[in-house]
Chains A and B, each alone.
Chain A
Amino acid sequence: MMRALYTAASGMMAQQINIDNISHNLSNVQSNAYKKSRTEFEDLMYASMDAPGLQADTGIQMGMGTRAVASDRQFSSGSLKNTGNNFDLAIQGDGFFAVKTPDGKTAYTRDGSFKLDAKGTLCTTSGASLGIKIPKDMMDIRVDPDGKVSGVPLTGTQRQTIDQIKLTRFLNPAGMKALGQNLYAWTPNAGEKKEGIPQGPGFGAVTQGYLEQSNVNIVEEMINILQAQRSFEINQKTVQVADDMQKEAIQLKKA
């Protein structure tokens, strides 16, 4: 059978993965601090047929097609949206909030849409705890850019420090595993992790009352969709032509 059939099929399959990925990006255009991912392709191996005894030519190298090798997450910052909510925190710069998921595992997120649970602990929407407890008798909670959480007691006027938010950064954030719910888990690929105070060396600042938006760029994704669709079509045409050629060959022997 013709190699071209499978080569073109590999192109179609790769574009299918590409479209899957683009649609995932587009469906998360409103997810807080969602980080877009990009599909990357590589050519497959080559079959070399050397022309024997020829010096002038290099023989023929026939590629076997393409494949999707990576979906590379891009940790560029999304834009910040003003919400006015005291417990909405955005990180301006590098770093992740470290949270404990309900099943006790540590996860990392840049989605700072925190809420108070029944015990007064700051939690993500999915219930992963930031580990900071806001006392019941405190009001006017403030989070400073350096992560210091403070409030004013109901029975006083003096502002008191409650806790300190810490951030974690990774050598290679793209190596983390996405868990869904805007959470990421550390993997050995993410490299060394470092914990620190916001605004410390290498760490971003915490901004209260803002949320980080998704970094998906709709225009870019739409162009990606157009390209993926055309690539798919063109490979499908190749399948058709390869099939026609086979048909011609079969018709050589008439019934």
Chain B
Amino acid sequence: MLDGMKRAAQGMISMSQKQDVIASNLANTGTAGFRKDMSKVTSFSDVLAVEMNPSGAVTPEFIQAGGDVSTEGMLFTSSVTSFAQGSMRQTSNNLDLALNDDGKGLFTIQTPDGLRYTRSGNFKLSSDGHMVTNDGSYVMGHRGKIKLNSADFEVSNAGEVKLDGKVVDKLMITTFDDPSKLKKLGSSYFVASSMGKVSKDAQVMQGFLEMSNVNPIKEMVDMITVMRAYEANQKVLQTEDQMLGRATNEVGRLR
């Protein structure tokens, strides 16, 4: 009985964590280059099964280690960032750059804390003429920081930065074999634990911004599902409580 209550409570906590992730996605529908997070709830025994035997088959060791029905209700919430391409918005601003490559590449940024990566291409000119992000970190090219002396420059599809028709640098677009290992830092930055590779097929579009890849309709539907699942778990908890109440107060009533 108490087990059932614990499981229902666990369900409520998981759903509330899912709701937090949805809220963050919805709050960022207008953030250029934002990548949505997808949360996933897995039961403890599923996780255990994969950890012990990648094929997922139930083995005697698995049952011995506690992987049976009784742990089914113990849940883990995890999230994965989706690197799907966002929609493009034309801005006609020279300093707005978008990557059109199925979401594979990332702009490379030199911050005071090291290299960061971003899909958000709303760059600026610094007072000393470099291409920078909103917080003043340098956008990197193959030759280091990109020096522009005016906003009057061109970026070719291949990412070559041209001043007066002369190529001065090429944007450093990095790709990762396993982008799910990238960690979000806020301010549209990602940090990587391993070195990436230089992208070969990234298409850079000047005068466009890639918008957030959040689909509000999908998030709204998810939100409703989460809400109902939360309610259902709450009902289970209530029922368990009532049953427990009956058992303690009515089964053995003393006159």
Q: Given the interface contacts A43-B188, A237-B223, does A191 sit within 8 Å of B23 by beta carbon?
A: no
Partner of B19, one of A10, A75, A231, A241: A241
Task: Across the interface, name the chain B residue whose C-beta is closest to A254.
Answer: B238
The reply on A153 being an interface residue by CB < 8 A is: no
The reply on B26 being an interface residue by CB < 8 A is: yes
- Do residues B127 and A43 form an inter-chain contact, with CB atoms below 8 A? no
Of A50-58, A78-86, A98-106, A119-127, the segment with at least 4 beta carbons within 8 Å of chain B is A50-58
**How many whole Å from A60's CB to the nearest CB in chain B?**
5
Residues facing A in B181-205 (CB within 8 A) are 181, 183-188
The reply on B174 being an interface residue by CB < 8 A is: no
User: What is the count of residue pairs linking A and B with beta-carbon distances less than 8 angstroms?
Assistant: 204
- Do residues B78 and A58 form an inter-chain contact, with CB atoms below 8 A? yes
Task: Across the interface, name the chain B residue whose C-beta is closest to A10.
Answer: B27
- Do residues A57 and B30 form an inter-chain contact, with CB atoms below 8 A? no
Residue of A55, A94, A191 ringed by the most chain B CB atoms within 10 A: A191
- Do residues B79 and A42 form an inter-chain contact, with CB atoms below 8 A? no
Chain A residue numbers with a CB within 8 Å of B241 are: 252
Q: Given the interface contacts A61-B184, A66-B30, does A7 sit within 8 Å of B24 by beta carbon?
A: yes
**How many whole Å from A86's CB to the nearest CB in chain B?**
31
The reply on A70 being an interface residue by CB < 8 A is: yes
The reply on A89 being an interface residue by CB < 8 A is: no
Chain B residue numbers with a CB within 8 Å of A42 are: 31, 120, 134, 186-188
The reply on A137 being an interface residue by CB < 8 A is: no
Task: Across the interface, name the chain A residue whose C-beta is closest to B184.
Answer: A46
A174–B123 CA distance with the chains assembled, in angstroms: 11
Q: Given the interface contacts A58-B181, A245-B230, A248-B231, does A76 sit within 8 Å of B93 by beta carbon?
A: yes
Chain A residue numbers with a CB within 8 Å of B151 are: 75, 172-174
Chain B residue numbers with a CB within 8 Å of A15 are: 30
A55–B27 CA distance with the chains assembled, in angstroms: 30
The reply on A63 being an interface residue by CB < 8 A is: yes
**How many whole Å from A154's CB to the nearest CB in chain B?**
44
Contact with A along B89-121 (1 / 0, CB 8 A): 001110000000000000000000000000010
A18–B29 CA distance with the chains assembled, in angstroms: 13
The reply on B237 being an interface residue by CB < 8 A is: yes
Contact with A along B215-253 (1 / 0, CB 8 A): 010011001001100110010011001000000000000
A24–B70 CA distance with the chains assembled, in angstroms: 60
- Do residues B183 and A11 form an inter-chain contact, with CB atoms below 8 A? no
- Do residues B16 and A62 form an inter-chain contact, with CB atoms below 8 A? no
Chain A residue numbers with a CB within 8 Å of B84 are: none
- Do residues A252 and B234 form an inter-chain contact, with CB atoms below 8 A? yes
Partner of B77, one of A3, A48, A60, A173: A60
Q: Given the interface contacts A64-B24, A76-B93, does A18 sit within 8 Å of B30 by beta carbon?
A: yes
Contact with A along B49-65 (1 / 0, CB 8 A): 01100000000000000
Chain B residue numbers with a CB within 8 Å of A18 are: 30
Q: Given the interface contacts A14-B30, A74-B93, A252-B238, does A171 sit within 8 Å of B39 by beta carbon?
A: no
Chain B residue numbers with a CB within 8 Å of A135 are: none
Chain A residue numbers with a CB within 8 Å of B80 are: 58
State the interface size on chain A (CB cutoff 8 A).
69
Chain A residue numbers with a CB within 8 Å of B149 are: 171
The reply on A167 being an interface residue by CB < 8 A is: no
**How many whole Å from A29's CB to the nearest CB in chain B?**
18
The reply on B124 being an interface residue by CB < 8 A is: yes
Residue of B27, B183, B234 ringed by the most chain A CB atoms within 10 A: B27
- Do residues B125 and A175 form an inter-chain contact, with CB atoms below 8 A? yes
- Do residues A46 and B26 form an inter-chain contact, with CB atoms below 8 A? no
Task: Across the interface, name the chain A residue whose C-beta is closest to B234.
Answer: A248
Q: Given the interface contacts A44-B186, A61-B79, does A175 sit within 8 Å of B23 by beta carbon?
A: no
**How many whole Å from B89's CB to the nearest CB in chain A?**
9
The reply on B10 being an interface residue by CB < 8 A is: no
**How many whole Å from B98's CB to the nearest CB in chain A?**
14
- Do residues A227 and B30 form an inter-chain contact, with CB atoms below 8 A? yes
* Sample of 10 further A-B pairs with CB below 8 A, known A41-B28, A45-B185, A172-B129: A2-B20, A11-B26, A58-B181, A60-B17, A62-B21, A66-B27, A66-B30, A74-B91, A175-B127, A231-B29
Supply 9 A–B pairs (Cβ within 8 Å), ascending by A. Answer: A7-B23, A7-B27, A63-B25, A63-B184, A76-B92, A173-B151, A174-B125, A192-B129, A241-B19
Closest 8 CB pairs of A and B: A63-B24, A11-B27, A4-B23, A45-B186, A172-B125, A191-B127, A7-B23, A57-B78
Measured CB to CB, the residues of B under 8 A from A are 12, 15-17, 19-32, 34, 37, 39-40, 42, 47, 50-51, 76-81, 91-93, 120, 122, 124-129, 134-135, 149-152, 180-181, 183-188, 216, 219-220, 223, 226-227, 230-231, 234, 237-238, 241
